[in-house]
Amino acid sequence: MVPTIQWYGKYIRMVDQRKIPSGIRWHFCRRYRDVIRAIRNMVIRGAPAIGIAASMGLALGASSIRTVSVAVFRKRFGEMADEMLNARPTAVNLKWAVDRMSAMVDKMADSPVDTIKSALKQVSIDILAEDIECNRRIGKNGLSLIPRGATILTHCNAGSLATGGYGTALGVIRAAHENEKDIRVIADETRPWLQGIRLTAFELMEDGIPVSVIVDSAAGYLMRQKKIDLVITGADRIAANGDTANKIGTYQLAVLANANKIPFYIAAPLSTVDHALENGDMIPVEERSGEEVLRFGKKNIGPSGLKALNPSFDITPARYISAVITEKGVIRPPLRRGISRLLKA
């Protein structure tokens, strides 16, 4: 698997995810605003990957600040951090990464600017490495939830491409495959961006994991036909009570899994938890342009003048979630208590 994002000398290199599976094209970011644009325009997506990109982007931005005054540096860095925060609203990993970078700046207030710059780059490298390690732990922790021979439904892409590598939901799937659990994956195509058919199918086929895709509307039918044993998705933000924001359509899957008595799991690093939010209703849901729905490539699908609503995420209430698989262990309901305990652990 190609690395989703990495330092490439002084610059950042990421796989342009809009081009997959047609080809692997590298997208280079030379300024921190290139990173903001790349996040906004879906060159890179997936909550953990966005967090990594934000940290690298800020390190890149920091390196471009020309001053020896720490005060000037901090002011400018703070502005960049605010800008970065606004790149996309729903995934909390972005905020988590920005906060971690800002905390480092605060902590090093007595160091020379160049030392702070180097430290920031190192933090971004650490965040990437930790994310991959974290995903492997999520994979291992999720293993006990995957029965031998299971058919697993997943939505969007919570794989290597959505993270530093290995994946969250797909991390669990990869771990099950590596442990010869003889699993099979059904991937929702995930309109409008088709991450399922383009990214998830691509990743799983590269790894030799059996995968078929379906339109998003077919998930309930297959559940009712008893052709799906469990559902796993990633998460963009988890509130203190366990309510979870993830790609639009996740809520529907959770309701349908519940109606069909199928377990519904979230796989996500603990950095996805936003403990400041009491419940999911407080999570901001990004509305993207209707054009994403109305066009395929450059072609208009519908009549001209047609409007589309395009909420990009939805909120799954905690009561529909059978467990949250994290790097520190599996959280069973009541999620609020389990989340709080693991965050303190």
Q: Show which residues are catalytic.
A: 236
Say if CB 183 and CB 149 are below 8 A apart: yes
Say if CB 105 and CB 149 are below 8 A apart: no
* Candidate list 119, 143, 150, 218; residue touching a second copy; CB under 8 A: 218
Residue nearer to a second copy on the CB measure, 80 or 294: 294
**Do the strands 230-233 and 295-296 form a parallel or antiparallel pair, or are they unpaired?**
unpaired
Under the binding rule (CB under 8 A), the answer on residue 219 touching a second copy is yes
Under the binding rule (CB under 8 A), the answer on residue 201 touching a second copy is yes
CB atoms within 10 A of CB 108: 17
Under the binding rule (CB under 8 A), the answer on residue 23 touching a second copy is no
Under the binding rule (CB under 8 A), the answer on residue 58 touching a second copy is no
The residues, any chain, with a CB within 8 Å of residue 341's CB and separated by 6 or more, are none
Under the binding rule (CB under 8 A), the answer on residue 214 touching a second copy is yes
Under the binding rule (CB under 8 A), the answer on residue 232 touching a second copy is no
**C-beta of 311: minimal distance to a second copy in Å?**
6
Helix (H) or strand (E) holding 247: strand 244-247
Peptide bond between residue 48 and the one before it cis (omega within 30 degrees of 0)? no
**Region label for 274, one of left (φ > 0), alpha (ψ between -120 and 50) or beta (otherwise):** beta
CB atoms within 10 A of CB 299: 7
Under the binding rule (CB under 8 A), the answer on residue 130 touching a second copy is no
SS3 (DSSP) at 9: coil
Residue nearer to a second copy on the CB measure, 285 or 342: 285
Residue nearer to a second copy on the CB measure, 61 or 242: 242
The residues, any chain, with a CB within 8 Å of residue 178's CB and separated by 6 or more, are none
* Candidate list 63, 111, 118, 252; residue touching a second copy; CB under 8 A: 252
- Only one of the segments 42-50, 64-72, 86-94, 304-312 lies at the binding site for a second copy (rule: CB under 8 A); that segment is 304-312
* Candidate list 44, 70, 315, 321; residue touching a second copy; CB under 8 A: 315
Angle (CA) 259-261-267 rounded to 5° is: 100
- Only one of the segments 37-45, 100-108, 173-181, 254-262 lies at the binding site for a second copy (rule: CB under 8 A); that segment is 254-262
Instruction: Tell me the number of residues near a second copy by CB under 8 A.
Output: 53
Helix (H) or strand (E) holding 62: helix 47-63
Say if CB 9 and CB 121 are below 8 A apart: no
**C-beta of 278: minimal distance to a second copy in Å?**
18
Applying the rule CB under 8 A, the residues between 263 and 302 that interact with a second copy are 285, 290, 293-294, 296-297, 299, 301-302
Radius of gyration of the chain from its Cα atoms, rounded to whole angstroms:
20
Say if CB 168 and CB 136 are below 8 A apart: no
Of 275, 276, 272, residue with least CA distance to 326: 272
* Candidate list 212, 284, 291, 341; residue touching a second copy; CB under 8 A: 212
**C-beta of 39: minimal distance to a second copy in Å?**
21
- Only one of the segments 7-15, 181-189, 267-275, 327-335 lies at the binding site for a second copy (rule: CB under 8 A); that segment is 181-189
Site residues, a second copy (CB under 8 A): 21, 186, 188-192, 194, 197-198, 201-202, 205, 211-222, 224, 247-249, 251-252, 255-256, 259, 285, 290, 293-294, 296-297, 299, 301-303, 305-311, 314-315
